[in-house]
Structure 1
Amino acid sequence: MEKIRRPSHAGSWYTDNPKKLEEELEGWLSATGLTKSTDVRGVIAPHAGYSYSGRAAAYAFGNIDPTNIKRIFLLGPSHHYYTPKCALSTATVYKTPIGDLPIDLEVIEELKATGKFELMDLQVDEAEHSMEMHLPYLVKIFEGHPVKVVPILVGALHTDNEAMYGRLLAKYVDDPTNFFSVSSDFCHWGSRFHYTHYDKKCGPIHKSIEALDKMGMDIIETGNADAFKQYLSEYDNTICGRHPISVFLHMSSNSSTKIKIKFLRYEQSSQCKTMRDSSVSYASAAAKVDA
C-alpha cells in the first residue's frame, strides 16, 4: 500500500507553485556555471528555506551527473525528534510539488534487518525539514532518470555509533549506482542560538564566523572523522548536520572507493557586526571519486 510523505514545508520554506519552483531551481543551477561529473558520488548541502540557502545549495546539486545513479541515500539531522540512533522512513513515496521520489523498500528492509535502526512514523518524517529541502533539487536533477531514495534520519549519535553506522553503510559507497545527499547547515551564530564564539583577531564578527566555519570545512575535506570530532569538541561550532557528516566521513574511510570532499560555496544569511545580530552559514560540497 502506498504511504505518502507530503511536502509539508512547501508553501512556507519554499514555494508550492510548481512552475515557480522549477524556474527558481533552474535559475540557481545555471548561475553556478558548473559542469556535471560522473565522478561526483555525493554532496553536502544546506537545508534552510530556499530564500536563504537555495542559491548556495545549487553549488552542490549542480555537480551531479544523473546518468548512472539508481539510488540516493539521504542523510539528514533530526531537529525535533530525539533518538540516539538512526531512523528509517516508513513512507513508500516522498512527494514534492514538481515530482515524486519512490522509497527503495528493498534497501530499507536490508537496513532494518541489521537491528541497528529504528523507524520514524510519518508525523516525525513530515515534521523534519532537513531531508525535504534536498528533494526538489534531486527531483530536478534526476528528471527523466528513474531513481529511488533511502531516507535516513540521523539522531544524536555517540561517537562510537557514528563509526558503527559508517562501517555498516560503507558497502553502499562501493556501488557506483549509489549517491549520497548529506544535509547540513553550518554555524548558527547569535544569542538566539546560544552560541556567540568571537575571535577578535579575525576582525568583524562575520569574519570570525567564516574563519571558524572554514576551519571545519578544511577538516571535513581531509576526510578525517576523528579530527572533525576534535574540532567540534574544541569550538562547539553549531553545525546542525555534524552527525550525518561524521557518518559520511566514516562511510568513505571504510569503503574501498576513495572519496574526496571539496567545498565549492560558502554563504551567510546575514553579516553579523554586533553581539545582537544573528546568522546561519551555508556551505556546499561535492564528494568525488578520488582516482
Structure 2
Amino acid sequence: MAIASIRPAAVAGQFYPADERVLRMQLSELLASAVPLEQVAPPKAIIVPHAGYIYSGPVAAAAYGAVLPLRSQIRRVVMLGPTHRMAVNGFALPAAQSFETPLGRVAIDREGWSELQQRPDLTVDDRPHAYEHCLEVQLPFLQTVLERFTLLPVLVGDASTDAVAALIESVWGGPETLIVISSDLSHFHSYQQAQCQDRETVDRILAMRSGLGHEQACGATPVNGLLRTAARHGLVPHLLDIRNSGDTAGDRNRVVGYASIAFCDPVPHASKQH
C-alpha cells in the first residue's frame, strides 16, 4: 500500500488557494513582484518561510525567483523542515510515494528515500507529514519554477546539528539537486522587537554561525545543519528578503518574521586591470 500511496494536500484552501487557476495566478503575481535585495547566482540551497502565502509568499517568492534559472537543471529537491504537529525523534520520511497539490503530484525520490532509511535516527511514518504545512507550502512554488523533479521530504525533530549536517551531506548530490530549508523566524513579538531580533538572526546566518535556537527560527535545527554543510562546501549566503507579517498582511502587535536566504557558489573575482 505504501508504494502507491499519495500524501494529499492538507492546507490547500487555508495557506494557499485550493483552486488551480487562482493558485497559478497568485504564484505568478508573487514571482513577478519579487524584487530581491541582491541579485545572486543560481543557488544550491535556500532558506524560505512557510506561512500562508498572503503573509510570507512575497518573501518566499524572492528565493524561488533565484531558483528560476535552474528550471531545466534541477531534477531533485530535498526539503527539510520542522515538525509543528507531532513530536519526532530524529527525522521522519513519509511512506507515501507522492505529494499532491492543486498543481498535480510530485513523486518521491525512491533512491534517496531508500538510502536514508539506513539511518538509525530516521523513521518512515506518514503521521507527522499528514497535516504538516511547512513542506507542503513550498511545493506549488517549486512546481511553478521547475520543470520536472522528484522530492525528498524530511521532517526534522529532536536532532543534533551534526546529525542534520550528516543527513544533508548524504543527499547533497550535484547540480541536479536543490536543498530547501523551510523556516520562519521569530514569533509573536511586537513589530519593532521582531525587526531587531530577526535582523540579528539573519546576521548570524550570513556569518555562517550555527547554534540558532527555536525562539530565533522555528526551523533552527535544519538551518543549523545547513549552515554546517554549506560552510563545508564553501557556499556563500545572500539575503534576498527579510520582512514580517506586519509588513505583508497582518497587524503589528504580534508578528511572525520571515527571510529568504540563498546559498551560492562564490563568484570568482575578476582580475584587476592595471
Q: TM-score range by the shorter chain?
A: 0.7 to 0.9
Partner of 1:20: 22
Against the structure 1 CA distance between its residues 95 and 132, is the aligned structure 2 distance closer, same or farther, given a 3 Å change threshold? same
1:174 Cα offset (Å): 5.2
1:246-257 residue pairs with structure 2 within 5 A? 246-254=224-232, 257=233
Residues 64 and 142 of structure 2 are in contact (CA less than 8 Å); yes or no, is this contact kept in structure 1? Answer: yes
Name the SS of the counterpart of 2:44 in structure 1: strand
Partner of 1:218: 203
1:94 Cα offset (Å): 0.6
Aligned-partner Cα distance in 1 for 2:151–2:134: 14
Which shows bigger deviation, 178-187 or 60-69? 60-69
| Aligned with residue 99 of structure 1, among 75, 97, 104 | 104
Partner of 1:87: 92
Name the SS of the counterpart of 2:46 in structure 1: strand
Aligned-partner Cα distance in 2 for 1:133–1:38: 24
Name the SS of the counterpart of 1:240 in structure 2: coil
Residues 194 and 256 of structure 2 are in contact (CA less than 8 Å); yes or no, is this contact kept in structure 1? Answer: no
- AA of the residue aligned to 1:223: M
Asked if 1:241 is matched to 2:219, the reply is yes
Against the structure 1 CA distance between its residues 146 and 218, is the aligned structure 2 distance closer, same or farther, given a 3 Å change threshold? same
Superposed structure 1 runs of 4+ greater than 4 Å apart: 33-38
Aligned-partner Cα distance in 2 for 1:248–1:170: 9
State the Cα deviation string for residues 110-169 of structure 1 (Å, max 9, x = none).
010132311222x32121111001011001111xx2210100001032xxx221230243
Residues 74 and 131 of structure 1 are in contact (CA less than 8 Å); yes or no, is this contact kept in structure 2? Answer: yes
Asked if 1:11 is matched to 2:16, the reply is no
Residues 230 and 263 of structure 2 are in contact (CA less than 8 Å); yes or no, is this contact kept in structure 1? Answer: no
TM-score by length of 1: 0.82
Identity across the alignment (%): 27
Residues 71 and 150 of structure 1 are in contact (CA less than 8 Å); yes or no, is this contact kept in structure 2? Answer: yes
| Aligned with residue 240 of structure 2, among 252, 259, 264 | 264
Residues 100 and 139 of structure 1 are in contact (CA less than 8 Å); yes or no, is this contact kept in structure 2? Answer: no
1:74 Cα offset (Å): 0.4
Aligned-partner Cα distance in 1 for 2:170–2:139: 24
Aligned-partner Cα distance in 1 for 2:58–2:42: 23
| Aligned with residue 42 of structure 1, among 18, 42, 45 | 45
Partner of 1:199: none
Partner of 1:207: 192
Unmatched segments (≥5 aa) in structure 1: 191-204
Aligned-partner Cα distance in 2 for 1:22–1:96: 12
Which shows bigger deviation, 71-80 or 33-42? 33-42
Aligned-partner Cα distance in 1 for 2:234–2:71: 20
1:53-72 residue pairs with structure 2 within 5 A? 53-64=56-67, 65-72=70-77
Aligned-partner Cα distance in 2 for 1:223–1:212: 17
Partner of 1:51: 54
| Aligned with residue 285 of structure 1, among 244, 247, 261 | 261
Aligned-partner Cα distance in 2 for 1:263–1:36: 10
Length, aligned pairs only: 258
Asked if 1:179 is matched to 2:178, the reply is yes
1:277 Cα offset (Å): 2.6
TM-score by length of 2: 0.87
Which shows bigger deviation, 130-139 or 34-43? 34-43
Partner of 2:270: none
Residues 87 and 154 of structure 1 are in contact (CA less than 8 Å); yes or no, is this contact kept in structure 2? Answer: yes
| Aligned with residue 146 of structure 1, among 148, 166, 170 | 148
User: What's the Cα RMSD here?
Assistant: 2.1
1:290 Cα offset (Å): 2.1
Unmatched segments (≥5 aa) in structure 2: 268-274
- AA of the residue aligned to 2:193: S
Against the structure 1 CA distance between its residues 262 and 83, is the aligned structure 2 distance closer, same or farther, given a 3 Å change threshold? same
- AA of the residue aligned to 2:227: L
| Aligned with residue 127 of structure 1, among 106, 128, 131 | 131
Aligned-partner Cα distance in 2 for 1:290–1:17: 40
